[in-house]
Amino acid sequence: MINLEWYRTFKAVYEEGNLTKASEVLYSSQPGVSLHISSLESYVGYKLFERTSRKMIPTVRGMVMYDYIIDALKKLEKAEQHFRKKGLDTTPTLSIGMCSEVFQYFFEPHIAQLDFDIIAHFGEYPQMIKELNEGILDLVITPKKINNNTITYTPFFKEKIQLIAGINTDTSNLELSIKNKEWKKLEHHLSHQTWYCSYNIMEYSKTFWSQNFNKKQLFKPNYIVPDILSIIRCLSNNKGMALVPDFLCSNALKANNVKLIWEGFQSLENTFYFAVKENSIKLKKEISQIEKIVTREI
């Protein structure tokens, strides 16, 4: 089925006469509105608007489409109003893109205290930034700045990648090699360990090994698990090793369930950002509350 948002965007552009006013009505960005119109035109196979420097003039086919869909769209708008009057009209909803670990670490302890609803989206960062630009997401928490003139990135904390081991792992040879700066021996001992990994840490792993041993990959993972918190739970009170961010393993380190082995010759750090649409006023209060909650946990 065709994306209903394309029809809503088409209606707004048709009635407002240009992309700027339509984007204000939809609380969306002008590029996002333009993308929806282009996608709809590509889907139906013909132009719906003649574009000038200031106006969007509907073509004959565009006029026919508007007449055909307007009654159905108005009925949907009435249905939405009817639902909100009987239900959640006073409760805004914030759509946030992030990795699952950030949600579990920062949000799960506080989610019941929020006075607004949350829809959490997990996925690849480029796709989430694209959806932020299109108005599908309201906020993205990301360690990657993807060039986009319509997105504002605000840094709020740094993670450090650490080499940890389960508390029952024999790491005496590793620790001796690090103490004596015998890097070839360290490389040899590391390559013979039992390793845990997840797909969202593999990029960090490659950078860590390249930075410290000038190699793309030092080991083949024995176990690839769903996420970083799964790695830490698997390592707790067991044998094995992994590379994980410091903020995710801090509690396990304090509880002596895992032990810190090494941070490398130079620490590998990543900066996390709050990404929002530039000059966006939508859900500004809710976004500010999320930023305070996350920052307080650091």
| Domain 4-86, CATH | 1.10.10.10
CB 49 within 8 A of CB 13: yes
Binning the chain into helix, strand and coil, the percentages to the nearest 5 are 50, 20, 30
The answer to whether 93-157+271-297 and 158-269 have equal CATH topology is yes
pTM, two decimals, is 0.64
Residue 163 has pLDDT above 90, yes or no: yes
Q: Which residues contact 102 (CB under 8 A, 6 or more apart)?
A: 141, 272
Residue 182 has pLDDT above 90, yes or no: yes
Pairing state of beta strands 223-224 and 268-277? unpaired
Residue 88 has pLDDT above 60, yes or no: no
Q: Which residues contact 73 (CB under 8 A, 6 or more apart)?
A: 7, 8, 11
pLDDT value at residue 144: 85
Cα-Cα end-to-end distance for the chain: 43
- Tokens 């960062």 -> residue: 125
Per residue in 41-67, pLDDT (tens digit) is 988 999 999 988 889 999 999 999 999
Place domain 158-269 in its CATH homologous superfamily. Periplasmic binding protein-like II (3.40.190.10)
Average pLDDT over residues 133-157: 87
d(CA 115, CA 92): 9
User: Domain coordinates of the chain in residue numbers?
Assistant: 4-86, 93-157+271-297, 158-269
pLDDT value at residue 95: 87
pLDDT value at residue 298: 57
Average pLDDT over residues 278-292: 76
Q: Which residues contact 89 (CB under 8 A, 6 or more apart)?
A: none
What's the topology of domain 93-157+271-297? D-Maltodextrin-Binding Protein; domain 2 (3.40.190)
User: Please, what is the average pLDDT of the chain?
Assistant: 86
d(CA 295, CA 298): 5
Q: Which helix (H) or strand (E) holds 176?
A: helix 172-179
